[in-house]
Amino acid sequence: MNELSPLISVVDDDESVRESLPDLLKEFGYRAEAFSSSEDFLASGHATTTNCLILDVAMPGMSGPDLQLELLRHNQSVPVIFITALRDESVRRRLLSGGAVDCLYKPFSDEELQRALDKAL
């Protein structure tokens, strides 16, 4: 992994996801950063350097879909993979029709994540 490796930013309020997912992404050969909220991600300055966002759908404060809209409002088009524990096909369809690359239900397999990343990148 080097500076040329794609940067994947993970935004999830669940600490276990923020600890485990970046490790997996690094095993896949990506650089990874994790943030506990959409607001923390926006304040980090990583929005311009992130190659793909993995966003939790439901978080306190600004939700994942709200963050996606905020980035689009600022002409920052970053591929988004949503992750959620809520198994609701209507929400999933809405997110995909809104431009998300994929929407994975927690817990998802390493293979599902890698397929979504392949589509995003």
Please determine, for residue 1, whether its predicted confidence score (pLDDT) is greater than 70: no
Name the average pLDDT for the chain.
Answer: 95
The candidate with the shortest Cα–Cα distance to 117, out of 21, 44, 35, is: 21
Distance CA 38, CA 26 (A): 21
Distance CA 42, CA 28 (A): 25
pTM to 2 decimals?
0.95
Domain boundaries defined on the chain: 7-120
Ramachandran angles phi, psi of 9, nearest 5°: -105, 130
| pLDDT at position 58 | 95
Token output for 111: 């293979």
Average pLDDT over residues 17-33: 97
Question: What digits encode the pLDDT tens for the residues 26-82?
Answer: 999 999 999 999 999 999 999 999 999 999 999 999 999 999 999 999 999 899 999
Domain 7-120: state its class. alpha beta
